[in-house]
Structure 1
Amino acid sequence: MSDQPRRKYPRRVQQAQEENERRQTIETLRDISDIQYISKLAFVETYTGTNGAVRMDDMGDKALSARRKKLAKPDRSSFGLQNQTLEGKKGTIKNFRPLASTVASQAENQPIGGESYPVIWQQLREATDMVFDGMKLSQPFETLYTKVEIAVANKFEQSTYQDLKELFRIHVAQWMGKVEAQSGAMDDSQFLKFVEVQWQDLCQKTKLIRCIFLVLDRTYCLNRADTLGIWDLGIHMCRKYLEESENAEKKIFQGLLREVAKERSGDQVDRALLKNVMRMLAELSLYEGKFEESFVRDTKNLYRAESQDFIDNRPVPEYLRYVEKRLKEEVDRIDNYLQISTRKKLLPTVEAELIEVHQKTMIAKGTDMMIDDKRIEDLALMYSLLCRTAEGLPELCKAFREYIKKKGRVIVMDEQQDKNMVSEMLNLKLRIDEVLHTCFKDDSNFKDAAREGFEHFINQRANRPAEMIAKYLDMRLKAGNKEATEEELDKLMDRLLILFRYIHGKDVFEAFYKKDLAKRLLLSLSASQDAEKLMLAKLKTECGAGFTSRLENMFRDCEISKDYQTAFAEHPANPKNTTKSSLDFAVMVLTQGIWPPYTPINVTLPPDMSVYLTSFQSYYTSNHNGRTLKWLANMGQCRVKANYAGLGTAKEFQVSQLQTVVLLLFNNVDEMTYSEIQQASGIEEEELKRVLGSLCTDKVRVLNKSGAAANLSREDTFSYNADFKSKAYRVKINAIQAQETPEEQHKTEEGVMADRQYQIDAAIVRIMKTRKSLKHALLLSEIYKQLRFPVTPHDLKKRIESLIERDYMARDKEEQTQYNYVA
């Protein structure tokens, strides 16, 4: 029946509703006849069997429907049930009322229905014995139920309860005797099956007896906190005798443990049997208190020995799969036959023995190997397993960081492989990113560890990684879209910028990038102006406008130079307009201070070339008063047409301006000595050696040289190579301008250090001007906060001494470690 609160009806309607419900309940009870049970008492499933046995629903609370016999209806006033909300052994009664006055009045007129209590109890005892013995009841269920009702109504509920309790004690003791007798005669599996059958039989009989004595259970037992219900009484008796048994309880525990051990070793077991027996222990309150402790302890001992042997003799990936398999098996046992309460104790125990005890060994032996071998699935499995322990992920994170430091240090510190440094770092970053995303699920802690690892090793070798990143970028921007699409080049820039973020000395990168960018712009080496500007925009976003202001001004100079070129082409002073010269002249005007510092080289230009320089200088100074031009012949480029009689066609040489000056000397002579060339060209000795060496290489031999091919000396003689051959029309001779000389590299590094000294001095003066007086340690701490590049305490001390000498600051007379600002 529904236990929802009743609606508020008018009184007459409510009375009619209650009367209708009462009649339905009594009609239900009248339908119960003999062994044919149609139970509406919430938990009895009955059927007619050959031996008169009665079966109970496993849950004890599920009402089942059955065939009903329509019998003649006696006078319903003899029944005293006025509320039909009766639930199972774990349920509650809603609005239970005292028995009807009709029963009480009947008991007064005819004490206990004409029968004494001993007579009634004798009938109830016989029925109870029949139930326990599995016999057919001699009286209808309706009659027995009514007798209990009458006994309760006439205040004999205590006597009835005590008598029933004694009956339970007798029959449960007999039941326990059967179980104890078989404990020594059967093996574990057979005994568990026997116990299961006996327990199911006892439960069914206890539930049927509870149905007979339901009124007693719902009045006398329910209203007394110190009195057990009929179902609980049977459970209590069973638990008491099982605990007092000599072998039965121990045999049940041992049987269950051995069956589980067999399953763990790979054998098949009857899971339904294990589930029913463990449910029995749970009902008897013997599971959590006794069996569970033994089970968890045996599990701990098993996996402690098994895991130690496995980790000592197997590879880490194999051990990880073993742990995963064992954990799945234990979860499957919990889902299938173990009680749910076991999860909280069993899984932490298994995880502790299989993972926590060996996590340091797994990490130490497996992390580096699995990353190197790209065992992505195994790494992901290790991560998921270590998530189960408190210290697992921090230990793995630490090992991950150390792996990056170790691998990166090998890349950075190998001076013989500097050319491959950046590509190796990019490959390492790709591999680490894949591990982070696929294995570590983009865990923020592991991302921080990766960043710390890269930042550590990339700054182990001062300045060199920043220089190599700038040179690698220069190489790719020269090749540009010839080797990659625009999208691929864009992605490459982003990856290089990630490495750039890890660098402490970004000023080194800026200096070398500016130098290389200048050469690409001046020598027309950039494959794509769009790519150059895209990279500049990315650097601006990364470092701010101050970082890229000079670089942007270099592009501005290039645009302005185009305007100069257009205007000069139409100017009357242009020799091409006056003398009809065959030379094409182009000029780039560079703003000093924006471009890298270039040292002008003295060179004697042919008259046809020098006239253009003079004309443009006159044009420029006439438009910009006060400005002077310094010609950088060493940065000029030329295209020279060469006619070879043997080839029958002309060739076009793409050479530097200095190479052009030397080649033009051989228009009038076929052979010249080193001294004659130097005197005629006016080129400095070191630069001349580079020029002549480039014109005499085996790859492009424009001039022939006497003496050893590998060395140049002042005694060498150079001659015009009439046998020069090349399949291409346009021949690019060794571009000595694009190559970086050791002097250029050293000069760039010196420029960086000079700029750093200025920045250090400015930071110290700025801090002292603000603080007025500061101790040495605090001053160093403030300086480190303001500088963007790494610097040693020794270098800072030298700059402080320099500022003291120049009277920007002074040591305190009383405290030598304290400095005072000098206004």
Structure 2
Amino acid sequence: MLPSKDHRLNKEFVSPTVNKQAFEPPAVHSNLVKHLDHTAVSQRANLIMAEDTRQDKRASFSAITEHNTNGMARTSAVASSKSGASKKLVIKNFKDRPKLAENYTEDTWLKLRDAVGAIQNSTSIKYNLEELYQAVENLCSYKVSPTLYKQLRQVCEDHVQLTESLDNLSFLKRMNRCWQDHCRQTIMIRSIFLFLDRTYVLQNSLLPSIWDTGLELFRTHIVSDSAVQKRTVDGILEQIELERNGETVDRSLIRSLLGMLSDLQVYKDSFEERFLVETNRLYAAEGQRLTFKGISLNQRTDVCACIPLFEYIFSLFRRKPLISCVEKQLLGEHITAMLQKGKDVFEAFYKKDLAKRLLVGKSASVDAEKSMLSKLKHECGAAFTSKLEGMFKDMELSKDIMIQFKQYIQNQSEPSNIELTVNILTMGYWPSYIPMEVHLPPEMVKLQEVFKLFYLGKHSGRKLQWQPTLGHAVLKAEFKEGKKELQVSLFQTLVLLMFNEGEEFSMEEIRAATGIGHTHL
């Protein structure tokens, strides 16, 4: 048996022979407390469990002596704490998280600042972009994000402030180049600090993104400067004025600068109001010029001259305010006078076209015609539309008269093979037509007389005057290929009927036979 200073040693921990160099501790399956660092866990770590919560199985010895074959003895420490004391967890070969080098943060920032400066000055970058990106990620992982963000903002702010005083020569081009360079540089800087933008900035809602920060700095230190803003807007308006006067300007430059104002959210406050004032002034003067010279805006030359200019300006700016401005100056200020001046002319043309549609039956919709009439009555008054309304009344009365006439003609002993339709028109309502006497076929003359007797028998004291210029007919013609129906005017009817009597006629023969004048023939 092994000698021991404590004879209460449980058999569970004693072996009849000892052949090993060191004592092998028992396996304990109770509470195991692990203290592990997720960033530095090694697979070679050896855990020693040092506590058994069961009171009756806790070893109460201090050491066990082992004898080797050579007579040497070694003492192995197993447990030295008293009953109920907690044990310390020991992890062998554990490595603490490496600390940053003493000057790593400063040296890395100098490297990043040099890269940002190279981007801003449009020179080559000494370092690889991937290396710079990794450097930013390393700094962020060591809680340097707030300091890094402030340093980056300060560098960008210092660079922007250097460009506040721009050369007066080619100011707009310098301004545009400054804006384009700033956008390009901000995009490249953001690509390096993308990890910072996607982690720290994204998690802080009060912080603008790196891109928004670039826009804010440019707006604050350049565009918001009263002198710079005034010169920029004055320059754009001057270029627009030159374009309106027919001179050639750089349209892409104007588009780029207007896009800059829009991206910086200063377009409406700094530019649009002044632009609309200038546009009002221009088109007011143009409207007065055209009015005084008696030039009609619908003439071809004026329209061709105005369309390209308007389309160009229309494509540059917000549509609704510009359209309202142009409509007010070119239409709103002059449309009343133009309509009052041309009201009588409009009435004459509208009445003539309406009469043709009603008599020939070419109106698309009677309801649409009446709707238009009600709109004219609302705009121009009842006196303007009284004659037009009388035309519709004549057409309605004519339909009733023709129903009675057809009943009347059916009672005649000799019914005709010609179907006659007559429209009774009140002379004061309809346009004036020049009376013309033509030579009608005997069958048509006979029907006219029958209708005259019928109508005057019902309305004594009235006088009928035939208007052949308004007549039309449907002829049934027989050809070798078959029968056809021809819808023609009354004058054309008279000419075509002559070819029932012959195959060839001269102009003079047709005029003498029909009585149609040279103008209509």
Give the TM-score normalised by structure 2: 0.55
Answer yes or no: is the 8 Å Cα contact 2:132–2:192 preserved in 1.
yes
Answer yes or no: is the 8 Å Cα contact 2:290–2:296 preserved in 1.
no
* Match status 1:144 vs 2:132: yes
Once the two structures are TM-superposed, the CA of residue 172 in structure 1 deviates from its matched residue by 0.3
1:311-345: per-residue Cα shift (whole Å, max 9, x none)? 3322435469746864663333343xx25xx1122
* Match status 1:250 vs 2:250: no
Which 5+ residue runs of structure 1 have no aligned equivalent?
Answer: 1-100, 375-399, 408-423, 466-497, 539-730, 753-823
- Which secondary structure does the structure 2 equivalent of 1:291 belong to? helix
2-structure distance, mates of 1:276, 1:143: 34
Answer yes or no: is the 8 Å Cα contact 2:133–2:192 preserved in 1.
yes
Equivalent residue in structure 1 for 2:271, among 264, 278, 291 = 291
1:280-310: per-residue Cα shift (whole Å, max 9, x none)? 2122222122112211221122112211221
Which 5+ residue runs of structure 2 have no aligned equivalent?
Answer: 1-37, 43-94, 424-441, 463-521
| Partner residue in 1 for 2:259 | 279
* Match status 1:344 vs 2:320: yes
* Match status 1:261 vs 2:241: yes
1:444-482: per-residue Cα shift (whole Å, max 9, x none)? 73265689999943786xxxx9xxxxxxxxxxxxxxxxx
Amino acid at match of 2:249: V
Change (3 A) 1:202 1:108: farther
| Partner residue in 2 for 1:355 | 331
- Which secondary structure does the structure 2 equivalent of 1:222 belong to? helix
Equivalent residue in structure 1 for 2:417, among 529, 549, 560 = 529
- Which secondary structure does the structure 2 equivalent of 1:112 belong to? coil
2-structure distance, mates of 1:220, 1:117: 17
Change (3 A) 1:746 1:142: closer
* Match status 1:300 vs 2:188: no
Higher relative contact order (CA 8 A, sep 6+): 2
Once the two structures are TM-superposed, the CA of residue 258 in structure 1 deviates from its matched residue by 1.2
1-structure distance, mates of 2:127, 2:41: 23
| Partner residue in 2 for 1:175 | 163
The 5 Å alignment of 1:794-813 reads none
2-structure distance, mates of 1:104, 1:361: 92
Once the two structures are TM-superposed, the CA of residue 159 in structure 1 deviates from its matched residue by 0.5
| Partner residue in 2 for 1:124 | 112
Change (3 A) 1:205 1:738: closer
Amino acid at match of 1:238: F
1:548-606: per-residue Cα shift (whole Å, max 9, x none)? xxxxxxxxxxxxxxxxxxxxxxxxxxxxxxxxxxxxxxxxxxxxxxxxxxxxxxxxxxx
2-structure distance, mates of 1:332, 1:256: 14
* Match status 1:218 vs 2:198: yes
Once the two structures are TM-superposed, the CA of residue 173 in structure 1 deviates from its matched residue by 0.3
Once the two structures are TM-superposed, the CA of residue 134 in structure 1 deviates from its matched residue by 2.5
- Which secondary structure does the structure 2 equivalent of 1:175 belong to? coil
Change (3 A) 1:124 1:430: farther
1:192-239: per-residue Cα shift (whole Å, max 9, x none)? 122122221222122111111111111111222211111111111111
| Partner residue in 2 for 1:159 | 147
Which structure has greater helix proportion? Answer: 1
Equivalent residue in structure 2 for 1:445, among 350, 368, 371 = 371
2-structure distance, mates of 1:311, 1:432: 40
Once the two structures are TM-superposed, the CA of residue 253 in structure 1 deviates from its matched residue by 0.5
Change (3 A) 1:168 1:314: same
Answer yes or no: is the 8 Å Cα contact 2:229–2:270 preserved in 1.
no
Answer yes or no: is the 8 Å Cα contact 1:117–1:151 preserved in 2.
yes
* Match status 1:457 vs 2:383: no
Amino acid at match of 1:364: Q
- Which secondary structure does the structure 2 equivalent of 1:529 belong to? coil
Once the two structures are TM-superposed, the CA of residue 240 in structure 1 deviates from its matched residue by 0.9
Percent of pairs with identical residues:
25
Once the two structures are TM-superposed, the CA of residue 267 in structure 1 deviates from its matched residue by 1.8
The 5 Å alignment of 1:546-565 reads none
2-structure distance, mates of 1:432, 1:508: 17
- Which secondary structure does the structure 1 equivalent of 2:215 belong to? helix
Change (3 A) 1:746 1:275: closer
1-structure distance, mates of 2:225, 2:270: 15
1-structure distance, mates of 2:218, 2:308: 35
Answer yes or no: is the 8 Å Cα contact 1:458–1:502 preserved in 2.
no
Aligned length: 348
Equivalent residue in structure 1 for 2:99, among 111, 115, 118 = 111
1-structure distance, mates of 2:178, 2:320: 31
- Which secondary structure does the structure 2 equivalent of 1:280 belong to? helix
| Partner residue in 1 for 2:395 | 501
Change (3 A) 1:252 1:213: same
Answer yes or no: is the 8 Å Cα contact 1:176–1:238 preserved in 2.
no
| Partner residue in 1 for 2:504 | none
Equivalent residue in structure 1 for 2:209, among 226, 229, 234 = 229
Once the two structures are TM-superposed, the CA of residue 363 in structure 1 deviates from its matched residue by 2.3
2-structure distance, mates of 1:104, 1:113: 22
Change (3 A) 1:291 1:745: closer
Amino acid at match of 1:202: H
1:124-167: per-residue Cα shift (whole Å, max 9, x none)? 22222222222322222222111111111111111001111111
* Match status 1:312 vs 2:292: yes
1-structure distance, mates of 2:131, 2:354: 92
Change (3 A) 1:454 1:109: closer
Answer yes or no: is the 8 Å Cα contact 2:160–2:218 preserved in 1.
yes
Once the two structures are TM-superposed, the CA of residue 364 in structure 1 deviates from its matched residue by 2.6
Once the two structures are TM-superposed, the CA of residue 171 in structure 1 deviates from its matched residue by 0.4
* Match status 1:749 vs 2:459: yes
Answer yes or no: is the 8 Å Cα contact 1:508–1:749 preserved in 2.
no
Once the two structures are TM-superposed, the CA of residue 517 in structure 1 deviates from its matched residue by 4.0
| Partner residue in 2 for 1:73 | none
Amino acid at match of 2:269: G
1-structure distance, mates of 2:361, 2:376: 8
The 5 Å alignment of 1:595-744 reads 738=449
1:338-367: per-residue Cα shift (whole Å, max 9, x none)? 25xx11221122122222232222323345
1:402-434: per-residue Cα shift (whole Å, max 9, x none)? xx4xx7xxxxxxxxxxxxxxxx99548579978
Amino acid at match of 1:291: F
Change (3 A) 1:283 1:738: closer
* Match status 1:329 vs 2:255: no
- Which secondary structure does the structure 2 equivalent of 1:309 belong to? helix
Give the TM-score normalised by structure 1: 0.37
Change (3 A) 1:156 1:146: same
CA RMSD of aligned residues (A): 4.6
1-structure distance, mates of 2:384, 2:408: 25
1:249-288: per-residue Cα shift (whole Å, max 9, x none)? 2111011111111112222211111111111212222212
Amino acid at match of 1:222: L
